[in-house]
Chain A
């Protein structure tokens, strides 16, 4: 996903004279093309993320469209107040990209895990909070975010995530996408972990229940029209996210449900409320936490019992 981001931001800097890319001293060589195309609009802000977010806010208030890029925890929890005051309170249209979100950098340990970012960003007024499932969503969301008057936080993976959408799919911020249709149970997903749900749904399908897999793409805005329609035709839901259980997609949907009259049986699949001391690669940690395709199959069967 980060390569898709680097490619698209290079395309965008040619198209948009107001685009600026700020990084926190990461992405060695990743942005070589961008720097060649627009050297004056690339700014390595050093390992000083708080300042970087405020600088981006000042740029946005002066007519530029800054995109900030660094590892997810350092562009969210570390700089929460700069996001809240400089970006959100000032309605400064900055696009903040958190790379390696969720457990993408599982092997780097909890300092580099990003399992609270959705929770703490979605409570900031005016900030859109996106988590594309694949590079197609990423590209579409990035383009649309740069047209939005609102600031945006977008959490992305690292590299090698499978494409889940066909080339040319029409993808928009705040519009849920059905990746696979079924009528017995719906898995509402966000981010690259959506691939695990698809895999689970495919392998269970031969003899088992018919499962819908949905990419939500965004918790804010939340596609409530879609959810409203879904609740009328399918009443067993699983939410799936590579994020802590508190405050992420599952919480967002529960909050919405509590204000409706829908009766839905909801299973939330997320990272438990604890730090992860069993460090390993992403697939290993997902399986330990019960967030891999196999665990999802178990959850599907339990939900339908």
Chain B
């Protein structure tokens, strides 16, 4: 377990992943390739360890397989593998700004093939630096792609600094509204806020939806919370034990 990178980024979106995979997404572990399944693209691919854990918990593959994380030759490494190499993975993300446009393609494909699935993409605030995010945002709105829902994991940090200082991200809500999107804003760790936000997105017609989820990088581990050193740093064994204890105590 020690040696997992990007833990801060994983912990900021793990609550969202849990809510989506247990309450929203119509994806069956028994039929991961069903043509009419909902699509979920982890556009911020560096949170792959969180996705790997969630997919295992949801039965896409045995949890024991996670023990091979980081082992030479394993599919479980820093970023999701290509589709087909691990059940439940829709896109091999890791280079930012690719996953959301691909999720838009998947959403458009539903319309073109007469299916009714929804397509979700989870992006990071740092990822909003990428121009392709806004290219996709403009096309999705022009095409009235209402089966697309983007979630922004707005933890306030990117690799080397406060995200709102590196690029002008604020006002995030107004930006998406100006691009023609339906906008919901929530605390990304508050499970009680999620049902109404995602219900509003699913029932919005004629425009794509975005959930801006304010989150805390490193959420749940006191010495990681809002400390950007944990973007790259991996915990040693003592830190790992402490972190797991804290997370256990909070359950």
Instruction: Tell me if B105 and A82 are in contact (CB < 8 A).
Output: no
Closest to A54 in B: B101
Instruction: Tell me if A59 and B112 are in contact (CB < 8 A).
Output: yes
Indicate whether A58 sits within 8 Å of B105 (C-beta atoms), given known contacts A41-B112, A48-B138: yes
Measured in the bound complex, the distance between the Cα atoms of B95 and A208 in whole Å is: 57
* Residues in A neighbouring B90, C-beta threshold 8 A: 61
Instruction: Tell me if B95 and A55 are in contact (CB < 8 A).
Output: no
Closest to A55 in B: B105
Closest to A57 in B: B102
B89-118 near A? 1/0 per residue, CB < 8 Å: 011100101100111111111111100000
Q: How far is the CB of A192 from chain B (nearest CB, A)?
A: 32
Instruction: Tell me if B132 and A64 are in contact (CB < 8 A).
Output: no
Indicate whether A62 sits within 8 Å of B113 (C-beta atoms), given known contacts A54-B136, A55-B108: yes
A40 contacts the other chain (CB 8 A): yes
* Residues in B neighbouring A64, C-beta threshold 8 A: 109, 112-113
B139 contacts the other chain (CB 8 A): yes
Q: Which residues of A contact B (CB under 8 A)?
A: 18, 20, 40-41, 43, 45-46, 48, 50-51, 54-64, 66, 81-82, 85-86, 89-91
Instruction: Tell me if A58 and B139 are in contact (CB < 8 A).
Output: no
Q: How far is the CB of B83 from chain A (nearest CB, A)?
A: 6
Residue among A40, A58, A90 with the highest chain B CB neighbour number at 10 A: A58
Instruction: Name 27 interchain pairs, CB-CB below 8 A, sorted by A.
Output: A18-B113, A40-B111, A46-B135, A46-B139, A48-B138, A50-B97, A51-B139, A55-B101, A55-B108, A55-B139, A57-B105, A58-B101, A58-B104, A59-B106, A60-B105, A61-B83, A61-B91, A62-B39, A62-B105, A63-B113, A64-B109, A85-B92, A85-B95, A85-B98, A86-B98, A86-B102, A90-B92
Closest to B92 in A: A89
Closest to B111 in A: A40
Known contacts A40-B112, A57-B105, A59-B108; can you find 10 more A-B pairs with CB under 8 A? Answer: A43-B108, A50-B101, A51-B135, A58-B91, A58-B103, A61-B102, A62-B113, A82-B101, A89-B82, A89-B92
Residue among B90, B101, B103 with the highest chain A CB neighbour number at 10 A: B101
Measured in the bound complex, the distance between the Cα atoms of B157 and A243 in whole Å is: 44
B131 contacts the other chain (CB 8 A): yes
* Residues in A neighbouring B132, C-beta threshold 8 A: 48, 50-51, 54, 82
Instruction: Tell me if B136 and A55 are in contact (CB < 8 A).
Output: yes
Q: Which 4 A-B pairs have the closest CB atoms?
A: A58-B105, A54-B101, A51-B135, A62-B109
Closest to B137 in A: A51
Chain B interface category by residue count:
20 to 34
* Residues in B neighbouring A55, C-beta threshold 8 A: 101-102, 104-105, 108, 136, 139
Residue among A41, A62, A82 with the highest chain B CB neighbour number at 10 A: A62
Measured in the bound complex, the distance between the Cα atoms of B90 and A51 in whole Å is: 17
Instruction: Tell me if A82 and B98 are in contact (CB < 8 A).
Output: yes
Closest to A17 in B: B113
* Residues in A neighbouring B110, C-beta threshold 8 A: 62
Instruction: Tell me if A54 and B131 are in contact (CB < 8 A).
Output: no
B106-150 near A? 1/0 per residue, CB < 8 Å: 111111110000000000000000011001101100110000000
Measured in the bound complex, the distance between the Cα atoms of B142 and A46 in whole Å is: 10
Residue among B102, B105, B106, B139 with the highest chain A CB neighbour number at 10 A: B105
B35 contacts the other chain (CB 8 A): yes
Residue among A43, A54, A57, A81 with the highest chain B CB neighbour number at 10 A: A54
Residue among A41, A59, A81 with the highest chain B CB neighbour number at 10 A: A59
Q: How far is the CB of B119 from chain A (nearest CB, A)?
A: 8
Residue among B109, B110, B131, B139 with the highest chain A CB neighbour number at 10 A: B109
Measured in the bound complex, the distance between the Cα atoms of B138 and A144 in whole Å is: 33
* Residues in B neighbouring A82, C-beta threshold 8 A: 98, 101, 132
Across the interface, B83 reaches (CB within 8 A) one of A40, A59, A81, A90, namely A90
Q: How far is the CB of B5 from chain A (nearest CB, A)?
A: 20
Instruction: Tell me if B143 and A43 are in contact (CB < 8 A).
Output: yes
Q: How far is the CB of B51 from chain A (nearest CB, A)?
A: 17
* Residues in A neighbouring B98, C-beta threshold 8 A: 54, 81-82, 85-86
Measured in the bound complex, the distance between the Cα atoms of B142 and A51 in whole Å is: 14
Indicate whether A51 sits within 8 Å of B113 (C-beta atoms), given known contacts A85-B92, A91-B82: no
Measured in the bound complex, the distance between the Cα atoms of B112 and A91 in whole Å is: 21
Closest to B100 in A: A54
Indicate whether A50 sits within 8 Å of B109 (C-beta atoms), given known contacts A43-B143, A81-B95: no
* Residues in A neighbouring B108, C-beta threshold 8 A: 43, 55, 58-59
Measured in the bound complex, the distance between the Cα atoms of B108 and A62 in whole Å is: 9
Closest to B104 in A: A55
